[in-house]
Amino acid sequence: MWSRLCFVFLIVVVAIGAMLLTACGGSDLSDPRQTVISLFGAMEKDDEAALTHLLDLPELMRQSQEDYAVQRDEARVFTNPEQVLKDLTGDGETKKIWFAHQRIVANAEIIGETATVEVTFVDKEASRGYRTKFGLHLKNGEWRIFSFKTFTE
């Protein structure tokens, strides 16, 4: 009798633990919005390994017609993934600009294996917002960011 009761108790404890981990823990990379939130967290921690996992770096480097940093008129050309990672961490220009603004991660729209996530950068001093949509696609079952400037207003 006691062994059966202990077994049931153990099952309940494990189930509750699993639910708490799901609710509180880590990023859910099956949600494109959570991938964008994780990107900002990795940038804040200067975690290049996490950024490599969240970004489709080869595809990001192909986006050379328009710069993805807010408030830049001319496009920068990145010739290797390390340049992109340095731009998003430490004293990188994009990190400085993005983190000088309030970041609002809004709605995600999923169409098949691609998605967009609305992101607004709010410059409180200038009372201005910069709205964009990050482009994501599924790669190996997880959402990866391939574009920071899918759409702007």
Whether the per-residue pLDDT at 34 is higher than 60: the answer is: yes
Consecutive H or E run containing 53: helix 48-54
Average pLDDT, the chain: 80
| Residue corresponding to tokens 């990795």 | 42
Which amino acid is present at 60?
L
pLDDT on residue 79? 80
Q: In CATH, what number does 30-147 get?
A: 3.10.450.50
Strand ranges in the chain using DSSP code E only, listed in sequence order: 102-111, 114-123, 128-139, 142-147
| Closest alpha carbon to 71 in 91, 41, 93 | 93
User: Taken in order 16, 37, 32, 61, is the CA torsion positive or negative?
Assistant: negative
pLDDT value for 68: 66
Over 80: is that where the pLDDT of 4 sits? no
pTM score: 0.75
Instruction: For residue 16, name the pLDDT band (cuts at 50, 70, 90).
Output: very low
**Residue 76 is encoded by which pair of tokens?**
């920068």
Find the farthest-apart pair of alpha carbons in the chain and give their distance in angstroms, rounded.
Answer: 74
Q: How confident is the model at residue 108 (pLDDT cuts 50, 70, 90)?
A: very high
What per-residue confidence (pLDDT) applies to 36? 98
